[in-house]
Amino acid sequence: MRKATNIYKALSDPNRLRILMMLKKKPMCVCEIVEILDLANSTVSKHLSILRNANLIIDEKDGRWVNYQLADISESQDIDFVLSHLAKQLDGDDQIKKDSARLKHVDRYLICATPAATTGETE
């Protein structure tokens, strides 16, 4: 019962649902998610932690970024069922559509750049 409780608790927040729907489209780093959700980095990190603890997402280091992506649904019929149902429920949602449109234009190389990288200065 604990597994099911963790999954449904993780799904009980609109921002976490938005994150899952974005990750359904492509893996993303924190700064990309922050840009689309317009939330503080710490808030997004907390949401990601809750989703990761429910085994809905995984993270993978990629150079200077940590990419978040949906967990491998082939490993869990429960997660496959939940995410499939969720996608059907949210497919026509206006906020999800707006997020998808913004997702197409988010560029981690621009938004995640350090001030030194954007000005050409060295540290």
- DSSP reduced 3-state for 67: strand
At residue 115, the pLDDT reads 53
Assess if CATH 1.10.10.10 describes domain 2-119: yes
User: pTM of the predicted model, to two decimals?
Assistant: 0.85
At residue 64, the pLDDT reads 84
28, 61, 73: which is closest to 37 by C-alpha?
A: 28
**How many Cα atoms are found within 13 Å in the side-chain-facing hemisphere of 7?**
16
pLDDT band at 117 (very low <50, low <70, confident <90, very high): very low
- pLDDT tens digits for range 52-101: 999 899 999 988 889 999 988 766 677 778 888 888 999 899 999 999 99
At residue 75, the pLDDT reads 66
At residue 122, the pLDDT reads 37
- The DSSP annotation for 9-21 comes to HHTTSHHHHHHHH
At residue 81, the pLDDT reads 82
- For the chain, the domains span 2-119
- pLDDT tens digits for range 14-64: 999 999 999 999 999 999 999 999 999 999 999 999 999 998 999 999 888
At residue 103, the pLDDT reads 94
